[in-house]
Structure 1
Amino acid sequence: MKKLMIPIISALCLSSTYAQDITDALRYSQDEIKGTARFRALSGAFGALGGDMSAVSINPAGSAVFSSSHISMSLSNKHVKNETQYFNGYSGNSFSNIDLGQSGAAFVFNNRNQNSKWNKFTIGVSYEQIQDFDNDWYAYGVNPINSIDSYFLEYANGLRLDEISALPGETYSQAYSEIGSLYGYGNQQAFLGYESYILEPDDFNDDNTIYTSNISGGNYNHNYNYSSSGYNGKFTFNAAAEYNNRLYIGLNLNSHFINYSSYTYLTETNNNQGSIVSQVNFGNSLYTIGSGFSFQLGTIVKVTNGLRAGVTYNSPTWMNISDETTQYIRTVRDDNGSNVSQVIDPLIVNIYPTYRLQTPGKITGSLAYVFGNYGLISFDYSVKDYGNTKFKPKSDLYFSEQNNIINNNLRAASIYRVGAEIKLNRLSLRGGYRFEESPYKNEIAVGDLNSWSTGLGYNFNNIVKLDLSFDQSKRESNPQLYNVGLVDRANLDTTISNFTMTVVFNL
């Protein structure tokens, strides 16, 4: 994973908001199948089963299924393979990482009152990773239509020249900082475009608001790198109870935290006739931290000794998020027959006000049939309406606009999970399948997800168990290189494979 090393000399607190958009909202609203090896081997189809620490993250009533206190820890190896197409360019890369995806404990307290129908109570605590943001991909090709100049033109047109340019005697760092403080992020982008000679004003008066590009039409050679790291995790406090040996109810209180960083770097070159600027190098970094809260209510019912049904409600997650950004641009231009390099490296960290994000809730219905000591089969169905994702405060005009974009483009997505387990004395064999619909109505930006899983477990002495699993998911996406201007999308096919090992202790 590439790391960005920048010698920061100053930090700038901006009163205006960084350009959060639908991509940011969706990034923090999605979750993955993480957790124990047994849970992953059944593709997360545990809503009516319980008896597993990760099952508790699906249905909080699941901890009341434990017959004794329980501790588990899971270690996972993740391998990501990305294949990218961008116009006539094809590329591929892969990487791996290892992390502690889950740890937790549930403590069972049996009710000794023989006259009470409340059989037992459980409390539990756990940590679980919801998302792993580690990613790395590369796209290159010849774009015959659009240049990065459209990004800067989109921001600049309509802005006064004196609001996007350095004053006489000002350094680029001073001007970038001052413009950000007075006018915000959009003016900073226009500043980078103007001072790097990409933008040409209609005239050089302070009140000019019309700009054209010094990059002529034709073909543009693009090389684009995207690198990200971080995670979305949660700590959970769980409480559950068993009633009359048939009904299980539970509650989860979840504390969420986000740590995300990304770096993008675009190199554009052209030899188009009439172009003054022949090369652009544009680097952007983003660092995000966040915290939040959610809760879950769930129940499991033993309809018969073998048949079980479960229902879970996941509340929205209410998050507070803070962003920091840095930028860099370099251009090469023709100056009277000589190539001149222009570098603007402000060495400024833009620190933006904390904003709120409400991610959508989810409802899950589950059915399972347990064949005594021989095995089981389980099915979960969930609905999550991504159109309900909201930036807050809603009174903010920019956030209101983004919320309308989210509502118009995202939809209620269905998630299907099925899993099965066969027990052969101490050995258990497992398998599963998962299908998730795209959160987008038109499925252009992100496609459907297909995943399969398998695994096995061995019970050493009813006290110590060892579980192993392998799961693999595939999804197509078309990420836009930049969210403003006539900037094109890359076609990205991502395959994620996970090996997971879990050690379980029954106390």
Structure 2
Amino acid sequence: MRKLLYLLILGGLMPNLNAQGLSDALRYSQESVYGTARFNAMSGAFGALGGDLSGVALNPAGSAIFLYNYASATGALIDRQNDILYSNTFNQSSDIDAAISQAGAVWVFGNSSDEADWGKFTLAVNYELQNNFDNEVVSVGTNNVGIDQFFLNQANGIPLELLQLQGSETIPELYRFLGETEGSAAQTAFLGFQSFIIDPTENVPGNTTYFSNTGQGSFNQEHFKIERGYQGKYTFNMATAYKDRLYLGVNLNAHAIDYRSSTFLFESNNNAGATIDQIGFEENLWVLGNGFSAQIGAIAKVGDILRLGITYDTPTWLTLTEETTQFIETRRLLPDDSSIIEVVDPGIVNFFADYRMRTPGQVKASAALLFGQAGLISFDYGYKDYSNIEFTTNEPFFNMQNVLIANTFQASSSYRVGGEYRVNKWSFRGGYRFEESPFQDSNLIGDLTGYSVGLGYALDNVKIDLSYSTAQQERSEALYATGLTTPTNIDQQLDVYTLSLGFFF
């Protein structure tokens, strides 16, 4: 089990773990509503509308709605707030980040013959922010389970001689050797042993069982999880119009992922018989990825006011690579009532071979009512089966995880409603969205509910749009995949403020 992902996904097999490991597979399979301010203000209900570059990223037929060449860019301020309950202790944390949520352009090519059935052809390029990973979760509380249980679970079954330095061997050398031959669990066990958190039940070669030096009682814990990074989609679009009644389009998408996570646990205790009373444990993960997907879509005008849209998103085929580091520091109590700080810092970056996964495809149906220049109402429905997430790297362990995914996730429906009312050059917008939990057990991640409002102003060939959206979702996750599996319950609110500037050319 070389990858940290392996270790985390095993959490899905543990009772009350809240499937923290499965969140790694889920992370790259979901997308939020960012994009242009107009798109964001209407909660992304754009499948039957078109005429917006984020709408093109949703339904590729939407670029054929444009009458003229158009370009837009959007900046977003993303405010993520967490209400955290851990071990009966309440805490709050927040993170604010600025990002480019959209940038692109569309070129409209009209047919020179007014009698032609296929009267228009469009090309578009667009960047869309799918996910902003920036987040901070601080879990604070007093627990009757300590981090020592995590190290014990990693160590039991590993021969003692693998955790001991041999001859002139150094900590970095043995840590690297364990990663290359035994896997990440052995590396973690090595840290616990070398920092005196655990000791062997028998100090003899071949021993495979260990005990804790932190004693029994209560543990004061502060756990910090800091996430950074993004997931973006780069789209090349082609679309055409038939008799200004039927619009057809296709998107070819390149995906980019940059995800970083740092966790740090500080734990202290006053337990009787403990020889380790303080622990500081840090883990870092960096994931880089790229992928490909495609979309096909259609929009049909039915009568004067009704539009219908349909889109199929293929699965996204991703290639991911990981790097990890670990560090630990403990305070060891000596028999003469003094203490010593034990630091185990291998200084080794674990580089892992690429692995592949496939996120699920999606079908979206939409309808919109357009009331001339007065405004519109739009509705989108999406269906995505998260149980179809699959690791396509052909290794036995990944195959086991695919079975776990199929038995844990479920199909999820999403609903988006948006409206726009126009007065002269002003546009007033609002929206609502609801997304079902991707988990069969909705206690792991609950349903998502969101609202949005926005304002637009058109001045000659320039458009300025503002929006605000908020979404709320509850989830439960464990600090570690095994041993210390006390759940952290998080009620998260995501507020997004966007400003778009667009112009015709």
Give the TM-score category using the shorter length: over 0.9
1:38·1:468 contact (CA, 8 Å) conserved in 2? yes
**Rounded Cα–Cα distance in structure 2 between residues aligned with 1:155 and 1:109:** 62
More off after superposition, 401-410 vs 66-75: 401-410
1:282 is matched with 281
How far 1:445 moved relative to its partner? 2.3
Which string of whole-angstrom CA distances, capped at 9 and with x for unpartnered residues, describes residues 327-376 of structure 1?
A: 00111222213322211011111111111111111110101110111110
Amino acid at match of 2:286: Y
Q: Is the 8 A contact 1:149 1:198 kept in 2?
A: yes
Q: How does 1:56-67 map to 2 (within 5 A)?
A: 56-67=56-67
User: Offset at 1:254?
Assistant: 0.3
In 2, distance between residues paired with 1:159 and 1:113? Answer: 77
Q: Which residue does the alignment assign to 2:193?
A: 194
- What amino acid sits opposite 2:299 in the alignment? I
- Structure 2 segments unaligned to the other structure (5+ residues): 10-21
Q: Secondary structure at the match of 1:51?
A: coil
Q: Identify the residue that residue 165 of structure 1 maps to in structure 2.
A: 164
Maintained 8 Å contact 2:142/2:221:
yes
1:16 aligned partner:
2
TM-fit CA distance, 1:30: 1.1
Q: For residues 70 and 317 of structure 1, do their structure 2 counterparts lie closer, same or farther at Cα, with a shift above 3 Å needed?
A: same
Q: Which moved more, 1:107-116 or 1:364-373?
A: 107-116
Partner Cα separation in structure 1 for residue 214 and residue 168 of structure 2:
28
| Counterpart Cα distance in 2 of 1:459 and 1:465 | 5
Instruction: Give the Å deviation of 1:505.
Output: 0.8
Instruction: Provide the rounded CA distance (Å) in 1 between the counterparts of 2:209 and 2:317.
Output: 41
Structure 1 counterpart SS, 2:333: strand
Equivalent residue in structure 2 for 1:477, among 469, 475, 494:
475
Correspondences of 1:129-140 after superposition (within 5 Å): 129-140=129-140
SS of match in other structure, 1:446: coil
Partner of 2:354: 354
Q: Deviations over 1:158-195 (max 9, x none)?
A: 12112233223322112111221222212101111111
**1:46-445 alignment, distance < 5 Å:** 46-144=46-144, 146-336=145-335, 337-393=337-393, 395-445=394-444
Any idea what the Cα deviations from partners look like across 1:252-279, whole Å, max 9, x if unmatched?
Answer: 0000000111110001111122222212
Tell whether the 8 Å contact from 1:16 to 1:353 is kept in structure 2 after alignment. no
2-structure distance, mates of 1:427, 1:151: 58
TM-score normalised according to structure 2 size: 0.95
Using the TM superposition, give the Cα deviation of residue 114 of structure 1 relative to its aligned residue in structure 2, in angstroms.
Answer: 3.3
State the SS of the aligned residue for 1:257: strand
| Cα distance, 1:28 vs structure 2 | 1.1
For 1:18, give the aligned amino acid. Answer: L
Q: Which residue of 2 aligns with 1:27?
A: 27
Shift of 1:405: 1.8
Letter in 2 for 1:111: N
How far has the Cα of 1:241 moved from its partner? Answer: 0.6
Tell me what 2:14 maps to. none
Map Cα deviations across residues 15-60 of structure 1 (whole Å, 9 max, x no partner). 9333343121111111110110000000000000000000011100
Q: 8 Å contact 1:387–1:409 — kept in the other structure?
A: yes
The CA distance in 2 between the partners of 1:206 and 1:301, in whole Å, is 74
Match of 1:465 in 2: 463
Find the residue that maps to 1:381 and give its secondary structure. Answer: strand
2: CA distance between counterparts of 1:475 and 1:464? 36
Q: For 1:339 and 1:33, locate their aligned partners in 2 and report how far apart those are by CA, in whole Å.
A: 53
Q: Which residue of 2 aligns with 1:498?
A: 496
Equivalent pair of 1:148/1:487 in contact (CA under 8 Å):
no
Distance 1:36 1:19, change over 3 A: closer
Which moves more between the two structures, 18-27 or 116-125?
Answer: 18-27
Task: Report the Cα offset of residue 485 of structure 1.
Answer: 2.6
1:389-433, Cα deviation, whole Å (9 max, x unpaired): 11221x312212222221111111111100000111111110000
Per the alignment, residue 18 of structure 2 pairs with: none
Partner of 1:454: 453
SS of the counterpart of 1:398? helix
Q: What is the root-mean-square deviation in Å for CA atoms of aligned residues?
A: 1.4
Paired residue type of 1:371: F
Tell me if the contact between 1:163 and 1:183 (Cα under 8 Å) persists in the aligned partners. Answer: no
Q: CA deviation at 1:248?
A: 0.7
* Distance in 1 separating the partners of 2:185 and 2:96: 37
